[in-house]
């Protein structure tokens, strides 16, 4: 290879390495990943609210019921001791 080709290859390799390191940092950055997941979940909830509000209300009622039952069981279990 000629010197100019080697320099071009080196520059390309550096750019690829920088891109790979950026991708690794993005994946390893937990707060950033949690933010992305949170935004994605929010968009899905908004879509569900627009397209099927009755289903969303049913899911919310189920979650509230599950929390209520869990709280009741915990109180009953701890009060027997």
| Total domain count, the chain | 1
Which has the closest alpha carbon to 29: 17, 18, 37? 37
Q: CA 56, CA 62: separation in Å to the nearest integer? A: 10
**Both tokens assigned to 80:** 């027997």
Asked if residue 22 has pLDDT above 70, the reply is yes
Q: Which domain holds residue 52?
A: 3-79
pLDDT tens per residue, range 27-65: 999 999 999 999 999 999 999 999 999 999 999 999 999
In sequence order, what are the residues at sequence separation of 6 or more whose Cβ sits closer than 8 angstroms to the Cβ of residue 79? Answer: none
- Whether the Cβ atoms of residue 33 and residue 22 lie closer than 8 Å to each other: no
Average pLDDT taken over every residue of the chain: 94
């Amino acid at each position: 290879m000629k010197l100019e080709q080697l320099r071009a290859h080196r520059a390309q390799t550096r750019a690829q390495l920088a891109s790979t390191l950026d991708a690794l940092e993005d994946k390893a950055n937990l707060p950033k990943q949690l933010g992305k997941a949170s935004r994605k979940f929010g968009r899905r909830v908004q879509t569900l609210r627009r397209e099927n509000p009755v289903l969303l209300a049913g899911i919310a009622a189920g979650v509230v019921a599950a929390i209520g039952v869990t709280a009741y069981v915990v109180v009953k279990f701890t009060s027997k001791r």
